[in-house]
Structure 1
Amino acid sequence: MSANRPTEAIDGGVRTRLMRAAELLLASSADGRISTREICSRAGVTAPTLYHHFKDKEALLDAVVLEGFNTYLAQKRAVAWSGDVLEDFRAGWDMHVSFGCEHPAHYRLMFGNPRADQVAPAASVARDEVAHTVAAWGADGHLKIPVDAATQTISAAAVGVALQLIALRADSTHPISTNVRDTVAQALFHPRDAGDDAAVGVSRPARLLLDALPPGSPAPLRPTEVALLREWLTSLSATTE
């Protein structure tokens, strides 16, 4: 048997070295920009070697993004959910921000790059999982606002906090994260002591029905009737419980 390492193992090692080099350079870059020459120098290879493994620098960065999303999804799915909406929201938020602080290069590529959700299929999976979770919270009557607005609010706030902490080189225990997290929770979720079903009032059922209405004009209602129904439900769901 030859003492030489198999070609596949050598290729895999070089590919990994290139990805780690890109990740480390991104982590230390002030503006997130790195050159092919810097990557090759850090990995100890020539430019033709990079192009042997990746079509170009963007393809290399796309591979780093995909790796980051896969790691992110694995950590997200390992979170132990309690069934308590507020506790689960906090656990999901803390996991997201912690991932960003622990993997700043991956995170900036994943969430600070507008192309990230176009090149990494896992990005769509992550977004869909968040939307599914928030939709379930809405269906159970926990949300004060529509599901879409809640989903966008959570995503925008969590990503903004994580990127800010990365810029500050802070960890996920920084008060910025806990303050924003708890403020978002207060804005999105009904308080635990809102009372039993008889005391809830019309706001929550109105919101549930508004979220459940399909687009367009479901039969047998006419468009004008649907528009009026949406207006009534919007007003009722905004009432204070």
Structure 2
Amino acid sequence: MSTRAALIEAAAALLAQSPAGDVSTRAVCEAAGVQQPVLYRLFGDKDGLLAATVDHVWDQYLGMKRAAAKSEDPLRDIRAGWDSHTAFALAHPHAYTLMVSPGLRAVPEAAAEAMRILREDLDRLAAQGRLRVAPETAARMIMSANTGVSLSLITRPGLYPDTSLSTLVRDAIHAAILAGPATPADPAGDARAAAVTTLLASVGDLTPEPFTAAESALFGEWLTRIPAADPAERPSPAEDLKDRTTS
């Protein structure tokens, strides 16, 4: 084992055992059997060591997600991803708290990879016409809610004693991003929004690329405006034609 790996392993073990969720560089160096100058040479400072340690711990979780076979139903994969995220946070509370801590100057790489994996599943869901919001927006909604409920369960167990809260929040967030059926108040349901997200998810897969970069940007802007438009405020085709001919 390299000196760098030994320091990370020692830091991970001490972090898991720490009542307060903190470790000292002196303790890490003593556990790894190296001098402190070596630690600073390899990681720069304590934040660099902690960021590397968080990535090491989270790599166990992300490794399982990388290896997991994708099902035919991306929503099932997204639901499973939420549940495994919460379970991992509860099993590694100190590493998880550090992962999302704004006080850690060196940002762990695991956060970006977790978001990328989620976004891939949401892109598949959008391509099936099942999203009412853009995949990027849906990813931010899911990740922020999943992080929030996980932190609440970890840091405030007295206020949040029931871990089933995670399932309730998960289902509420998923209901907010999924295209729903038609209702009397909205005969079209979320069909318009779902069509937009499906087109946006599919444009990049067209080969050969039918649009220039400028055309793609303009097309994307038009599409994103469609769901926000109120049909009641749009002119009828006859009114629109009259306006065009008299202008």
**TM-score, normalised relative to structure 1:** 0.68
Mapping 1:208-223, distance limit 5 Å: 208-209=198-199, 218=215
Partner of 1:20: 12
C-alpha displacement at 1:138, in angstroms?
A: 1.2
Mapping 1:162-241, distance limit 5 Å: 162-168=150-156, 174-191=163-180, 201-209=191-199, 218=215, 230-235=224-229
| Number of aligned residue pairs | 218
Partner of 1:132: 120
C-alpha displacement at 1:57, in angstroms?
A: 1.8
Q: Given the alignment of the two structures, is residue 77 of structure 1 paired with residue 74 of structure 2, yes or no?
A: no
For residues 123-174 of structure 1, the C-alpha deviation after alignment (integer angstroms, 9 at most, x for no partner) is 4333222222212211211111122211110110111111111114599971
* Structure 1 residues 173 and 77: alpha-carbon distance in aligned structure 2, compared to 1, 3 A threshold: farther
* Structure 1 residues 49 and 202: alpha-carbon distance in aligned structure 2, compared to 1, 3 A threshold: closer
**TM-score, normalised relative to structure 2:** 0.67
Partner of 1:151: 139
2: distance between equivalents of 1:228 and 1:51? Answer: 51
Q: Given the alignment of the two structures, is residue 103 of structure 1 paired with residue 92 of structure 2, yes or no?
A: yes
When the two chains are superposed, the root-mean-square deviation of aligned CA atoms in Å is 4.2
8 Å CA contact 2:74–2:125 kept in 1: the answer is: yes
Partner of 2:244: none
2: distance between equivalents of 1:145 and 1:230? Answer: 9
8 Å CA contact 2:74–2:124 kept in 1: the answer is: no
Gaps of 5+ in 1: 1-7
8 Å CA contact 1:97–1:172 kept in 2: the answer is: no
Percentage identity across paired residues of the two chains:
30
Q: What is the identity, as a one-letter code, of the residue corresponding to 1:127?
A: M
C-alpha displacement at 1:100, in angstroms?
A: 0.8
Gaps of 5+ in 2: 183-187, 204-210, 232-247
8 Å CA contact 1:141–1:204 kept in 2: the answer is: yes
